[in-house]
Structure 1
Amino acid sequence: MEGGTSAITCDGADVIKRCLTINRRDDQSRDLSTYYEIEDCASWIREHDFKVVALQFPDELLEDSADVTALLSSLTEAKLFILGDTTYGSCCVDVIASQHVLATAVIHFGRACLSSVSEVPVRYVFGQENLDAKDCCAKFQQLYPETETAVVVFYDVVYSYAIDQIKTVLLSQYTNLIFSNLKLSPEARPEIDESRFTIIVKGGRTFALPSSETESNYQMFFVGGECLALTNLMLTFNKCAFSTYDPAGGAARRETLSVNKRLMRRYYMVERAKDARVVGVVAGAPGVADVVAAIERVRDVARRAGKKPYTLVVGKLNAAKLANFAEMDVFVLVACAENTLVDAGDLYRPIVTPFEMELACNAAREWTGDYVTDFRELLPGSTMHVPMSEESSDASVDVSLITGKTRSIGITEELTLGQSTTAVIDRNSSLTMVAESSTAAEYLEQRSWRGLEQALGETAVSKAKEGRRGIAAGYENEPAS
């Protein structure tokens, strides 16, 4: 079970030749008013008196967008806009696109990563995929025959509407069962006695454990198929055994993914980050709360480790876009928890997570096997935050596990000696080295093509002339061949 990622997209070159098969859903088999919660959405708009509302659909639900908009328009006087193409992953609320139409609220349809958004009010409508609650309970009982087994139940958001049915049945039989809740807003918290329980918030889910218990004492059960949410949860709770129930086929199984193997693959990415000298910090989710602080945190830890960070905003990522930044040794993708993990072998340079960059640059943070996919957990004030070590502010030398060569980690003092050389002084020793600088600016200077030349003041001014009309295959004023 890998789960894939939507953080990397294709470059669109196959669009012209692609043949599409349109499978229009039979509206009789799915009532749009129920599936999209039309009445509740209209009430939400009227209650808050929203004047302009953006409706965000993922690609697989766009065919219903016009009908949904018409239904909502009949129940509210708000001006509605359909966001037809998301700026980044469709699981994130597209704050950027909503700002283009001056929307005062967003209704997000379909699967969502539940990342916190502070700029605009959001209502989530996940949809209601088919789920046989009775069969799910029966399969759960087969997986966990002992009624005292400690289990935390998670679920894909598209099945949230049916979880109460499952909860009613299983809680009457199991004595140590905990159901997680979806964290739909930043301020949402369980109404419990926090002196007796510990609130856990991970992957857009929240649940409460007795203060005397730890996460590793529980097994995890997930209702849903293979998806990014499951991958994220399995890496986050990597010390717990996972089982799943897939409503699409009614299959239940114990997950056999070697989480340790995947974690070691991520540790390899940490080593690549340690070897890097020029770092591209990619803003992969500008609408997510605290993303600016996270980017600054990544830049800070990179600079303290003697690396040169550059911030990039490139929209939906693909190999062709990232190849334009050949001077980067590694990219750090600051995105939502479900899109931050990228396993793409065709990329020109590796992409690491903010957590992996911290492991590479912050000497105070050690590799313990715990994994963090939410960048907010790395920021000051979070329980997972680790301040930069004083030792990391000075340069130190270790050996790369990839190249076998020595490398310097930590801030160095740079004295420019000329156009292509820099003196690097290691404050921990009396050795002074003179080496070629590999900064992005000097790399760009060495390129054979460096973009359009401005040639300011060298181009004669001429009057504008009427150009050709039509399409490239045959302009209107083009002589026949």
Structure 2
Amino acid sequence: MTSTFSTSSENAITRSLNITPDDSSNHLSPEQFDNFYDIEHTTDEIIKGDYKRIALQFPDELLHDSVPVYKRLKSLVGRDRELYVLADTSYGSCCVDEVAAQHINADAIVHYGHACMSLTSRLPVIYVFGKKSVDIEDCVDKLVEAYTSHSSTTSSSPRTALLKYEVCYSHVARDVLQQLQTAFKPLSVDIIHTPLSAKSSSSSTSSNRTPSVAEYNIVFYVGEEESLSLTNILMTHSSCDVFSYNPQTRISKLSSTLTNKMLMRRYATIQKARDADVFGILVGTLGVSSYLSLITHLRKLLASKHKKSYTISVGKLTPSKLANFLEIECFILVACPENTLLLNDTISNRNQQQNGGYSNKDFSFKPIITPFELQLALREEIEWTGKFVLDFEEVIREGEKKKGGNGEAEAEDEDEKEEKDLDEPRFSLITGKYRHPKLYGRPSEKSESQADSSSVILRNQDSSISKLDNNSAAAQYLQQRTYKGLEVRLGEDEPSFLEQGRSGIARGYQTDRHRK
């Protein structure tokens, strides 16, 4: 947090962002440009759905192509349809920005560039990933070479691999799959594939069943080496060998060697969360389906453990915004799988342009965890096998399964036992000392006459008093501060003279000197 408390208000306007434009569409003919951005398919979907107001959402790296795309679509969809370019997203650019689209009463959204493919709930979406080139033969040869050179893959027993790729290579996924199946057949490796669901309607889902992790033990990934998609795969497939191929550099290697290091860092963050009593639930998306159900689940979970929680919606996260909530000891980020991992220290700083130019170290002031990590932190003993869950619905199922695994009588006994255990001191692996957790939401056993004298404060200048709420984390934090506000100097300072202030509107205030 090098600049959290020292930046001026002008920084939000004057600070420049280091955005690397995507030049994949440069030097293309008009026909190739239309093919790259699926102009014909997008036009057909708009006319077929009879959409009248369409929002075109571009990430920062593709904004230079927004005007040509707008003109091509406008000339094909007709004058009776309105097109709007969304140049700035409310949260991550990989998510569909339904909030900004609703500001213009859009009927549909066309999402361009990289997408996390999270299920939406409000508006129909047309995905246009772009079509980046890849040398299929080189890709297959390099993956075979990386697989055979790894010592742990020399076993002759049959193995199963899952093919994953960045969405910009989905147009060649079938060809890559066929050649991989042919090349790995002599090596007793079966390749399976889960097609992407990129349909125009947000309510439609893919009919293909997503294989479980138990059905494969290898993952082949085609995409950039330092990407959020690859990090997502490494975290959620920790039991698999992940081989990646970068079409830009034409390098293939075993990437899962970093998985254990990532999980160890996340385990340390979970230990910090175990020492927290006041949590802030950060709303990092307003478009991903089931986000409201997940927030409700987190509130109930924290309340059952007598933890204080605040729900905060601040749009794109910055260190300055989070620094305003000093009483909060740990933040829980509810966002899509890729944006959830964006703030973790496991991501390379190369991806900081996706978060407004801030690096991961800027967010190290307070721990930021995922909803799944919160469920682990609130358990009496952490039993973590390395499984990492980022899907909203799966996190809710995991929590309900843990809660409803026993009968009602056993559940009540466990609740009574937990109530007793909450009063006992706990050993912190971070500080190396025992700590007594603060319990919020419990009925006070003391009467008002037996209340602590520090909870009685001056209410106003008339010397009336009021009692602080014991469940207010902000009030308790204020009492612990050495600076609690300006000194009251009643009758000691002379009142100042009243002066006429400025009037008018913001673009042209009027004062006494300039008033005619």
Task: Kindly report which structure 2 residues correspond to 1:371-450, keeping only aligned pairs within 5 A, or say none.
Answer: 371-380=388-397, 385-387=401-403, 391=414, 394-396=419-421, 397=424, 398-403=426-431, 404-408=433-437, 413-415=442-444, 417=451, 420-421=454-455, 439-443=473-477, 448=484
More strand by share: 1
- Whichever residue aligns with residue 356 of structure 1, its letter is E
Task: Kindly report which structure 2 residues correspond to 1:54-69, keeping only aligned pairs within 5 A, or say none.
Answer: 54-69=55-70
Contact 2:441 2:471 (C-alpha < 8 Å) held by counterparts: no
Deviation at 1:258, TM superposition (A): 2.9
* 1:103 alignment partner, SS class: coil
Contact 1:153 1:180 (C-alpha < 8 Å) held by counterparts: yes
- Whichever residue aligns with residue 151 of structure 1, its letter is A
Q: 1:179 and 2:193 equivalent?
A: yes
Q: 1:44 and 2:45 equivalent?
A: yes
Contact 1:223 1:247 (C-alpha < 8 Å) held by counterparts: yes
Provide closer, same or farther for how the CA distance between residues 13 and 364 of structure 1 changes in structure 2, counting only shifts above 3 A.
Answer: same
Tell me what 2:89 maps to. 86
Structure 1: gaps (5+ residues)? 1-9, 192-198, 201-207, 423-434, 451-458
Task: Kindly report which structure 2 residues correspond to 1:311-326, keeping only aligned pairs within 5 A, or say none.
Answer: 311-326=311-326
Tell me what 1:454 maps to. none
Deviation at 1:62, TM superposition (A): 0.7
More helix by share: 2
Deviation at 1:385, TM superposition (A): 4.5
- Whichever residue aligns with residue 413 of structure 1, its letter is R
Provide closer, same or farther for how the CA distance between residues 174 and 187 of structure 1 changes in structure 2, counting only shifts above 3 A.
Answer: farther
How far apart, CA to CA, are the structure 1 residues paired with 2:453 and 2:427? 29
Deviation at 1:150, TM superposition (A): 2.4
Deviation at 1:103, TM superposition (A): 0.8
* 1:413 alignment partner, SS class: coil
How far apart, CA to CA, are the structure 2 residues paired with 1:20 and 1:170? 37
Provide closer, same or farther for how the CA distance between residues 54 and 284 of structure 1 changes in structure 2, counting only shifts above 3 A.
Answer: same
Moved more, 158-167 or 318-327: 158-167
Deviation at 1:361, TM superposition (A): 1.9
How far apart, CA to CA, are the structure 2 residues paired with 1:360 and 1:24? 40
Tell me what 2:347 maps to. none
How far apart, CA to CA, are the structure 1 residues paired with 2:377 and 2:117? 28
Deviation at 1:418, TM superposition (A): 5.6
* 1:281 alignment partner, SS class: strand
Contact 2:111 2:127 (C-alpha < 8 Å) held by counterparts: yes
How far apart, CA to CA, are the structure 2 residues paired with 1:337 and 1:240? 19
Provide closer, same or farther for how the CA distance between residues 150 and 345 of structure 1 changes in structure 2, counting only shifts above 3 A.
Answer: same
CA deviation map 1:212-259 (0-9, x unaligned): x924x5211100112111101111010111111000011111115332
How far apart, CA to CA, are the structure 1 residues paired with 2:438 and 2:327? 19
Tell me what 2:351 maps to. none
Moved more, 260-269 or 226-235: 260-269
Tell me what 2:356 maps to. none
Contact 1:361 1:409 (C-alpha < 8 Å) held by counterparts: no
Aligned length in residues: 428
Provide closer, same or farther for how the CA distance between residues 359 and 18 of structure 1 changes in structure 2, counting only shifts above 3 A.
Answer: closer
Contact 1:378 1:385 (C-alpha < 8 Å) held by counterparts: no
Tell me what 2:128 maps to. 125
Structure 2: gaps (5+ residues)? 1-7, 149-153, 345-359, 405-410, 457-468, 487-496
Contact 1:119 1:287 (C-alpha < 8 Å) held by counterparts: yes
Q: TM-score, structure 1 length as denominator? A: 0.79
How far apart, CA to CA, are the structure 1 residues paired with 2:162 and 2:302? 37
Contact 2:303 2:441 (C-alpha < 8 Å) held by counterparts: no
How far apart, CA to CA, are the structure 1 residues paired with 2:51 and 2:311? 35
The two structures, once aligned, show a CA RMSD in angstroms of 3.6
Provide closer, same or farther for how the CA distance between residues 139 and 24 of structure 1 changes in structure 2, counting only shifts above 3 A.
Answer: closer
How far apart, CA to CA, are the structure 1 residues paired with 2:19 and 2:284? 31
Return the index of the structure with the highest Cα Rg: 2
